[in-house]
Amino acid sequence: MVARILRTGLLVACVLGVLMTVDAYAQTGAIRGTVVDEQGQGVAGVQVVIAFRGGVNREFKSETADDGDFIRVGLQSGNYDVSFSKENHQPFEITGIRVRVGDPLDLGDVLLPSISEEMQAAAKMQELNAEIMVEFEAGIAAAQVEDYRGAIAAFDKSSRSTPSLPRRISTRVLLTASWERPRRPRRPTGRRSS
């Protein structure tokens, strides 16, 4: 008898829990969509960040499934920004999305184009140029305070990062570019003007 009462009480508690969950779900919204590439194929593993922009900023993170689909439930109504990012793809952001209580907001297909090899090479070149510039500026600063050994060391380090310039030539060019050398007096040519 006691076991029967306990089972009945447990069943009632489970039913109430399910009903309360359904009620709570009905008071929130959701965002869903599919991230695709240039060929219309789903992109797996895309980081989806859904940021609430109302009063208190909150971020909800998700990741796309193998077919590129994503869904985030339990969002309170309000304005959201949704950003998509993955390595070797151009990041994308949708701002000012309005989520309402009830049915999920379907973003449909979201295009996340791949970054070409040329763009990847250009990004690496920008990083390399920034590193070279730091060393070059350190060399100029050392030369300006007449620390020529430090300047040469910095220029050498900078030139080693520049594979297209021979080491000796680039160091001389960089070193002479950082300050003006004193001019030598002209030698007489031996010809006299009459």
pLDDT tens for residues 87-107? 888 888 999 889 988 888 899
pLDDT at 124: 79
CATH of the domain at 70: 2.60.40.1120
- 125, part of any domain: yes
At residue 55, what is the residue type?
A: G
Give yes or no: residues 91 and 125 share one domain. no
Give yes or no: residues 81 and 34 share one domain. yes
The residue from 111, 129, 160 where one domain ends is 111
- 131, part of any domain: yes
Give yes or no: residues 91 and 132 share one domain. no
- 144, part of any domain: yes
- 82, part of any domain: yes
Give yes or no: residues 62 and 122 share one domain. no
pLDDT at 167: 47
If one compares 168 and 28, the residue with the highest pLDDT of the two is 28
Tokens of 183: 């001019």
- 93, part of any domain: yes
Give yes or no: residues 38 and 106 share one domain. yes
Give yes or no: residues 64 and 123 share one domain. no
* Burial of 158 from C-beta contacts in 10 A (0-12 / 13-18 / 19+): buried
Give yes or no: residues 92 and 121 share one domain. no
- 147, part of any domain: yes
Q: What DSSP assignment string belongs to 33-78? A: EEEE-TTS-B-TT-EEEEEE-SSS-EEEEEE--TTSEEEEEEEPSE
pLDDT at 182: 53
Give yes or no: residues 138 and 71 share one domain. no
pLDDT at 44: 92
pLDDT at 23: 46
The residue from 80, 111, 142 where one domain ends is 111
**Structural domains counted in the chain:** 2
Give yes or no: residues 93 and 123 share one domain. no
- Structural domain harbouring 158: 117-178
In the chain the first and final C-alpha atoms are separated, in Å, by 137
**Range with the lowest mean pLDDT among 5-9, 52-56, 60-64, 91-95?**
5-9
Confidence of residue 112 (pLDDT cuts 50, 70, 90): confident
pLDDT at 104: 86
The residue from 89, 111, 133 where one domain ends is 111
Averaged pLDDT of the chain: 77
Give yes or no: residues 39 and 101 share one domain. yes
pLDDT at 189: 61
Rg (CA), the chain: 33
- The tens digit of pLDDT for each residue in 129-185 reads 888 888 888 888 888 888 888 888 888 887 776 655 544 444 445 445 444 555 566
Can you tell me the distance from the alpha carbon of 54 to that of 118, in angstroms, rounded to the nearest whole number? 40
pLDDT at 178: 47
Give yes or no: residues 106 and 126 share one domain. no
Give yes or no: residues 87 and 159 share one domain. no
pLDDT at 188: 62
- 67, part of any domain: yes
pLDDT at 157: 80
- 17, part of any domain: no
Confidence of residue 55 (pLDDT cuts 50, 70, 90): confident
